[in-house]
A and B are shown apart, each in its own frame.
Chain A
Amino acid sequence: MDFAPNSEQQMIADSFAKVFAAAGEPRSVWEELGELELLRLTWPEDLGGFGAGCSDLVAVLSEAGASGAPEPLIGAAALPGLALTRAGAAAPTVPDGEICLALADTNLHLADGRLTGSVNVVPGADVADTLLLCLPDDRLVALPVDAKGLSLEVYELLDGRGAADLHFQQVELSQGSVGGPTPGLHAWLCDAAAMAFAADALGAICAIRDMTQEYLKTRKQFGKTLCSFQALQHAMVDIYHDTEHFLSLVHLAAKTCDSDDVAMRMRAVSSVKRYLGGRMRDCIASAIQLHGGIGVTEEYPLGALAKRVIVADLLNGSSASHGARLARLIAEETRAELNITGQEKDVA
């Protein structure tokens, strides 16, 4: 319950940390992770994976977030694995090579076995050989990126991680392998994706926190270290508190993604997203403020980590839409309870 990783989770997180630290020597981080089979943590065992769940991912993704690693760990490793494991026998056949999960929304239309429209800002699609497309009807489709009618517009996100917009022009599903429906899969993957990016952001925000604390202890102005000023102490304490609460929520979200309690999962994930769009935004802004001028330079590592938190905030549903979802869940749950107040009245 203290959410310290268990020994196995710690060992895996340490392996990641080691690879991140030795970036590029002698192989790329991505190749190295693949070689060590660390990219298949969440994959089904019959595809050479370990079948890890969301709770197992938190330590690893936090490590990635803290290190600032640009590799597409979420989009092209964790999420496709989670999707295939969840779908089980209903999963499509996936070929060898890099696979990236894309979550279709209302911008993509399926008619007569053909897809038209787009899926925008798909992290990890830049490296993919195959798209694992999750349709709103809860089916997975494994589609080669060179399928006829499909085009990718590849770019970097603001934190340096790769992504792409996918454009579909009458793309025939029959070009790929189509799986069967897994009830609730699309909604689950949307929440799992939000959780995964939040776990990554957790690592980044904790790194920002440590960096800021250290800066306050060493930087001197007016002949004193910054940490002797009470206003700055209190701002740092607020960052500490909010990040601890965020940590609690991320673990709750991961735990609920691994459970069957759909309402609780949605509450937890939307709470995490509200934190990213509220208290966490405030935290990184405050961390930059506490650094003064150095905090706004591109060279100082804080900025890159802050952008990583912002990416988690912007992707997988807006803060506003998650606020609305949370409010709706609360209303539904409260309405389902027996009315025992007997105080219904207009307040105008």
Chain B
Amino acid sequence: MELFYTKADIAFRDEVRAFLDTHLPQELSDTFFNFKRHSWEQMIRWHKILANKGWVAAHWPVEHGGTGWTPMQQYIFDSEAMMAGAPRLRPFGLKMIGPVLMRFGTDAQKERFLPRILSAEDYWCQGFSEPGAGSDLASLKTRAVRDGDDYIVNGQKTWTTTAQHANWMFTLVRTDPQAEKPQAGISMLLIDLSSPGVTVRPIRTIDGDHHVNEVFLEDVRVPTNLLVGEENRGWTCAKFLLGNERVSIANVGQSKAEMSLLKRLARDRKIDGVALIDDPVFGAKLADLEADFLAQEVTNLRMLAGIKPGGEVGPLSSLLKLRGSEIQQRIQELAMEAAGADAAPWRADRAAGGGNGDDYGIHGWLTSRAFTIFGGSSEVMKNIVAKQTLGL
């Protein structure tokens, strides 16, 4: 895709490559190229290396400790890092609450939280979904009642990714149950997960892993200075955040890296002495995946070019989320197929970040089922596009 790079883009790419060559620890890239998954500790290690270089907040403005990179540079950095086998940083602080605080937060909130996101002293999780409010997020029931300088919060959050590692949760709560529209009575609170009354319980997913949790909130006191934006206007923050989330879920850089892993897997697997990559039926599936990926890659560049400084992402972002999540699923599906019978044995260490070329695909296939569900299920995304983009 470097056909579309300017000379300055190429120079930037070379700078990124040189940095990755010297600063990405071999242990981290080995994990990726050996079909294992990065652990939390490995991810934090990489986070700190990037923070040290000043590159951890690729999409933040310089004034807040970001890089000030253009969307194109952010993409180049992301795809180069992924192709080199670097861990993927979690989006919750850097891509979600960070930008929300810059847009809607108080000066005190910015000063308190933004530096700690950069340094990885704080790690954030997202308290949006509830047992009764998944795709229909606006029907959430967690209540926050004002009591002097505090809110008292009661309710339950679910699908809370990395809550077991995080120390803070940005949370949507209902502050006005009488509001005319359900969206109108919602506020965003920042909750310290070490507060009394917070209980985090793991949910095992079908891949055997522990990605997500339930978070129970029982009479949790949250100081009112941890309200983001105005009371009952949390939906505005949430929509801004979800738009960013959808762009990041497209994960074009990661798909690019996983495509190359898949191709290597198909090259090195043999059926009766013939490499799988030369099998006409497998080859045809790989070819169509490649065509879809190329289209996605160029469409992503179109979207990046369409982002005005400080502005919203355009209608292409929903399209990228929809197709991007499908592409990731199909990559894993073919990797599973490539392993054949060797993908069938259940390995106990698989869930602990272990694994190899045999179970890489099946684990990924199971994990990636969630990709067309979280951040707006594909069906909800289509409803949104039908209404907002096509005016149907």
Contacts and interface: CB of A to CB of B under 8 A. Distances in A.
Interface stretch (A90-98, A149-157, A192-200, A239-247): A239-247
Interface string A216-253: 11000000000110100110111011001110110110
Contact of A335 (B267, B302, B357): B267
B263 A245 contact: no
Contacts of B3: 252, 255-256, 259, 261, 264
A2 B389 contact: no
B364 to A, nearest CB: 16
B386 A244 contact: no
B41 interface: no
A252 B291 CA distance: 11
B299 A244 contact: yes
B323 A233 contact: no
Contacts of B340: 347-348
Interface string B4-46: 1000000000000000000000000000011100000000000
A7 interface: no
A217 B267 contact: no
Interface stretch (A75-83, A129-137, A292-300, A336-344): A336-344
A230 B34 CA distance: 44
Contacts of A255: 3-4
Nearest to A240: B390
B341 interface: yes
Contacts of A333: 263
B319 A241 contact: yes
A211 interface: no
Given A237-B382, A339-B268, A326 B295 contact: no
Interface size range of chain B in the complex: 35 or more
Interface string A8-39: 00000000000000000000000000000000
Contacts of A237: 382, 385-386, 390
A347 B270 contact: yes
A111 to B, nearest CB: 34
Contact of B392 (A217, A241, A343): A217
26 contacts: A1-B302, A2-B305, A213-B391, A227-B386, A233-B386, A234-B386, A236-B390, A240-B319, A241-B323, A244-B319, A245-B299, A248-B299, A270-B287, A270-B291, A323-B284, A324-B283, A327-B286, A330-B277, A330-B290, A334-B263, A334-B266, A344-B270, A345-B268, A346-B273, A348-B272, A348-B341
Given A249-B295, A330-B290, A347-B340, 10 more contacts: A3-B302, A228-B392, A233-B383, A236-B392, A240-B319, A241-B323, A246-B295, A249-B298, A323-B288, A341-B264
Interface of B: 3-4, 33-35, 263-273, 275-278, 280, 283-284, 286-288, 290-292, 294-296, 298-299, 301-302, 304-306, 316, 319, 322-323, 338-342, 356-357, 379, 382-383, 385-386, 389-392
Interface of A: 1-3, 213, 216-217, 227-228, 230, 233-234, 236-238, 240-241, 244-246, 248-249, 251-252, 255-256, 259, 261, 264, 267-268, 270-271, 274-275, 278, 323-324, 326-328, 330-331, 333-335, 337, 339-341, 343-348
Q: Shortest 7 CB-CB distances between A and B: which pairs?
A: A327-B283, A1-B305, A248-B298, A347-B340, A271-B291, A233-B386, A245-B295
